Amino acid sequence: MARHAAGALGHPAGNEHAGLALAVRSLLQRLQLHTVLLRRRSDPWLGDAFWARFSVILVNVWYGAPFFLIMYLAALKSVPDQLYEAAAIDGANWWQRIWFITLPMMRNIIAITTLFSLIVTFANFDIVRILTSGGPLDQTHLFATWAFQVGIQSSDIPLGACVSLFMVPILAVAAVFILRDVSKRGNEA
């Protein structure tokens, strides 16, 4: 529901005082900047394959960034200060502290969040469905939206189920490799 609420920022359903986009537009109009900054482009963002893919990726990153940043912040807070103090005594510069202390201590969290991001992106249905419906020319389909188009909209349920189940082995292989690496590093500690 939160992803759909993000779209409501620009579409206040008739209320001219609601919506972040209208607030920014009215501010720019008051400052006389609207003619420069709000020029209409002749090419549509979601009509070109490159810009449609870029838009889907941008919205996906925007939607997932808070979770991942909080995970990385928690991982950074879990690195003991004594390691940084010992590295400073040994004469390590900033880059060496990042490379030899911070990243190795955060490697498990980075791996788990990468796996989570991979799974969520593969199963991401609503962003692609709302923005592009897989178009233009089926260039922005993910497995979930393609399975929906083939199975539900084209009335070929077995083929749609086959497409949706095609994700399972790919994600399973990725999960096995990532979790095996995390488990191996956990046993070393």
- Contact between 182 and 174 under an 8 Å Cβ cutoff? The reply is no
The tally of CA atoms less than 13 A away on the side-chain side of residue 156 is: 10
Query: Please, which pLDDT band fits residue 97 given cuts at 50, 70 and 90?
Result: very high
What the chain holds in terms of domains, given with CATH numbers, is: 1-40 (no CATH), 43-188 (1.10.3720.10)
Give one DSSP letter per residue of 48-113, joined into a string.
SHHHHHHHHHHHHHHHHHHHHHHHHHHHHHTS-HHHHHHHHHTT--HHHHIIIIIHHHHHHHHHHH
Which tokens belong to 171?
A: 């994600």
Res 162: pLDDT: 87
pLDDT, tens digit (0-9, with 9 covering 90-100), for 122-136 = 878 888 888 887 777
Which tokens belong to 1?
A: 């529901």
Query: Please, which pLDDT band fits residue 82 given cuts at 50, 70 and 90?
Result: very high
The tally of CA atoms less than 13 A away on the side-chain side of residue 134 is: 14
Q: Identify the residue with better confidence: 22 or 68.
A: 68
Query: Please, which pLDDT band fits residue 29 given cuts at 50, 70 and 90?
Result: low
Least confident of 75-84, 108-117, 138-147: 138-147
Res 101: pLDDT: 92
Which of 69-73, 150-154, 161-165 has the highest average model confidence (pLDDT)?
Answer: 69-73
Is the torsion defined by CA of 97, 101, 104, 107 positive or negative?
negative
The average pLDDT across 152-161 equals 86
Say what the pTM is. Answer: 0.66
Residue 149 has pLDDT above 80, yes or no: yes
Q: List C-alpha distances in Å: 120 to 12, 15, 115, 126, 137.
A: 28, 34, 9, 11, 24
Least confident of 12-16, 44-48, 84-88, 160-164: 12-16
Residue 2 has pLDDT above 90, yes or no: no
Res 99: pLDDT: 93
